[in-house]
């Protein structure tokens, strides 16, 4: 008896299906799927959330200086002539950044290895490539989801049965974050 359900798929198909459903659960907050798939997705999602909760405050704030191109009123880079060549003018700016500890970095990389990249499309319905933006699922886990469950010791998901599917009578459930 294996430690997981095979879901009637080859290993590559099963892994892709579970990665996709876990990513969508964490991005949207809930998904509708079959009972057996939901049980497998729940296992993985709970582990991801637990990892994020443990490592959410494991960083140090560091002040760094960065060179930033100087810009004019129109947003164009300011250039000056030096030795007959046009050169961009830079100014130094002090920034405060969060530097992850080693364990948080390892957790972030484990999440990135599993979760699919999410591209957010604007709500107006026009699927124009320039208006889309990448959503960093690791940051969403650490900044939005983990603080919600900081005082909770597991049980981050809920399964609500909604009855059999019309085509093949498979038991359907809504899997959602509590």
Question: What is the predicted pLDDT for the residue at 108?
Answer: 94
One DSSP character per residue, 32-81 reads EEEHHHHHHHHHHHHHHHHHHHHHTT-EEEEEEEEEEE-B-TTSPBPEEE
Question: What is the predicted pLDDT for the residue at 16?
Answer: 97
**How far apart are alpha carbons 88 and 79 in whole angstroms?**
4
Question: What is the predicted pLDDT for the residue at 121?
Answer: 80
Taking the mean position of all CA atoms in its chain, how far away is CA 147? 15
Question: What is the predicted pLDDT for the residue at 21?
Answer: 97
Single pTM value for the model: 0.83
**How far apart are alpha carbons 27 and 118 in whole angstroms?**
8
- Residue 25 and residue 31 in contact, taking contact as beta carbons nearer than 8 Å: yes
Per-residue pLDDT of the chain (178 residues; tens, 9 = 90+): 678 999 999 999 999 999 999 999 999 999 999 999 999 999 999 999 999 999 999 999 999 999 999 988 888 898 988 888 999 989 999 999 999 999 999 999 999 999 999 998 877 766 667 778 899 999 999 999 999 999 999 999 999 999 999 999 999 999 999 9
From first CA to last CA, the distance across the chain in angstroms is: 31
Which CATH number describes the domain made up of 11-57+101-177?
3.90.1030.10
**How far apart are alpha carbons 128 and 130 in whole angstroms?**
6
- Residue 108 and residue 56 in contact, taking contact as beta carbons nearer than 8 Å: no
Strand residue runs (E) in the chain: 30-34, 59-69, 79-82, 85-88, 90-100, 118-120, 133-135, 157-164, 171-177
Question: What is the predicted pLDDT for the residue at 161?
Answer: 97
**How far apart are alpha carbons 176 and 160 in whole angstroms?**
8
Question: What is the predicted pLDDT for the residue at 1?
Answer: 60
Q: Domain extents for the chain?
A: 11-57+101-177, 59-100
């Amino acid at each position: 008896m294996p430690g997981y359900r095979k879901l009637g798929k080859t290993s590559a198909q099963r892994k892709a299906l579970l990665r996709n459903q876990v990513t969508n659960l964490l991005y949207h907050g809930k998904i509708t799927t079959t009972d057996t798939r939901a049980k497998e997705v729940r296992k993985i999602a709970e582990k991801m959330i637990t990892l994020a909760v443990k490592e959410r405050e494991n960083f140090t704030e560091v002040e760094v200086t960065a060179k930033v191109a100087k810009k004019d009123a129109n947003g164009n880079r300011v250039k000056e002539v030096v030795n007959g060549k046009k050169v961009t003018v830079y100014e130094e700016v002090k920034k405060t950044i969060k530097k992850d500890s080693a364990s948080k970095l390892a957790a972030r990389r484990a999440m990135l290895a599993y979760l699919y990249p999410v591209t957010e499309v604007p709500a107006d319905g026009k699927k124009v490539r320039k208006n889309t933006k990448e959503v960093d699922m690791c940051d969403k886990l650490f900044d939005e989801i983990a603080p919600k469950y900081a005082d909770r010791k597991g049980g981050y998901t809920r399964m609500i049965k909604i009855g059999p599917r019309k085509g093949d009578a498979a038991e359907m459930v809504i899997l959602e974050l509590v």
